[in-house]
């Protein structure tokens, strides 16, 4: 555990002040910027958002942003970009040898880096969501909708953990993990969710979106198809499935890291 902590301390700084963080800041900054624009537009007396001519409620706007921007885009993207790079970057930079020659277990390197990923992403995403919430939702509606925010924050953290764990495994196993990760997150998951039957149970989004407290925005053909085939698992099923996915992914990733012989290109 001490080894994992050392790696965490080392990796957190590296992650936070890397070029990837610029991307992370832009990705999370966009919703905050949108929320600020909505607030300014509303304060000027203009209806900020209409759908089919109907003014959208502020809590509904926040719900749509959580759905569309955070859960369907930001969380998978961060999972792919950071998760796949946990080990793959060290291999690519040929620095993995330095970590593996330390007197710590190899899996501790993975765990330490995974914790650093969780801390780095949650400390950027969750405050971003908090800013979006207080910018969009009027203060007199905070009391009524605050429990939703707590659920959203917890859900985003769980989503980041699940995607991070899965893509950490992909990063340890695959040669081109980024491409595979992107195909999985924006190809397979999107396709499987609109398929009838049991296929969608092999996606993470199926369990994550079943926990969302907001109504799914019914815009677009894909959303309508999803709504048509909706079959919502219970909260317990979702949480157990996601916890299982995280545990299995990390255990497998740890096992691969422990056993694999990394041959670095000269």
Site residues for another protein per CB under 8 A: 9, 12-13, 16-17, 50-57, 59-60, 63, 119, 123-124, 126-127, 130-131, 133-134, 139-150, 213-215, 217-218, 227, 230, 232
The Cα 125–Cα 159 span in angstroms is 11
The smaller minimum CB distance to another protein, of residues 90 and 152, is found at: 152
The smaller minimum CB distance to another protein, of residues 97 and 230, is found at: 230
Compute the least distance from the CB of residue 8 to another protein, in Å: 9
The Cα 71–Cα 136 span in angstroms is 18
The Cα 225–Cα 103 span in angstroms is 53
Compute the least distance from the CB of residue 87 to another protein, in Å: 21
The smaller minimum CB distance to another protein, of residues 60 and 173, is found at: 60
The smaller minimum CB distance to another protein, of residues 115 and 180, is found at: 115
Compute the least distance from the CB of residue 51 to another protein, in Å: 5
CA distances from residue 44 to 50, 51, 61, 203 in whole angstroms, order as listed: 16, 19, 18, 43
| Contacting residues for 11 by C-beta, under 8 A, at least 6 apart | 112, 113, 116, 117
The smaller minimum CB distance to another protein, of residues 231 and 258, is found at: 231
Compute the least distance from the CB of residue 238 to another protein, in Å: 13
Compute the least distance from the CB of residue 13 to another protein, in Å: 4
* 55 DSSP β-pair partners: 50
Under a CB-based contact definition with an 8 Å cutoff, are residues 132 and 170 in contact? no
């Amino acid at each position: 555990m001490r080894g994992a902590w050392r790696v965490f301390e080392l990796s957190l700084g590296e992650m936070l002040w890397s070029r990837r963080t610029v991307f992370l800041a832009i990705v999370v900054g966009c919703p905050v910027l949108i929320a600020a624009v909505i607030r300014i537009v509303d304060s000027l007396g203009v209806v900020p958002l209409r759908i089919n001519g109907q003014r959208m409620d502020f809590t509904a706007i926040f719900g749509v942003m959580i759905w569309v921007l955070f859960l369907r885009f930001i969380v998978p993207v961060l999972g792919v970009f950071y998760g796949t790079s946990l080990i793959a970057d060290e291999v690519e930079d040929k620095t993995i040898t330095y970590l593996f020659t330390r007197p710590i277990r190899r899996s501790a390197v993975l765990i330490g880096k995974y914790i650093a990923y969780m801390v780095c992403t949650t400390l950027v995403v969750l405050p971003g969501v908090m800013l979006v919430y207080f910018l969009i939702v009027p203060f007199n509606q905070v009391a009524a909708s605050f429990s939703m925010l707590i659920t959203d924050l917890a859900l985003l953290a769980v989503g980041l953990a699940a995607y991070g764990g899965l893509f950490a495994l992909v990063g340890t196993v695959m040669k081109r993990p980024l491409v595979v990760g992107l195909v999985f997150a924006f190809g397979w998951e999107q396709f499987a969710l609109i398929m009838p039957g049991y296929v969608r149970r092999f996606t993470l989004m199926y369990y994550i979106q079943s926990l969302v407290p907001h109504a799914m925005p019914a815009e677009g053909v894909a959303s309508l198809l999803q709504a048509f085939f909706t079959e919502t698992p219970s909260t317990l099923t979702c949480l157990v499935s996601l916890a299982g996915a995280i545990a299995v992914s990390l255990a497998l990733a740890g096992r691969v890291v422990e056993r694999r012989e990394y041959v670095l290109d000269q």
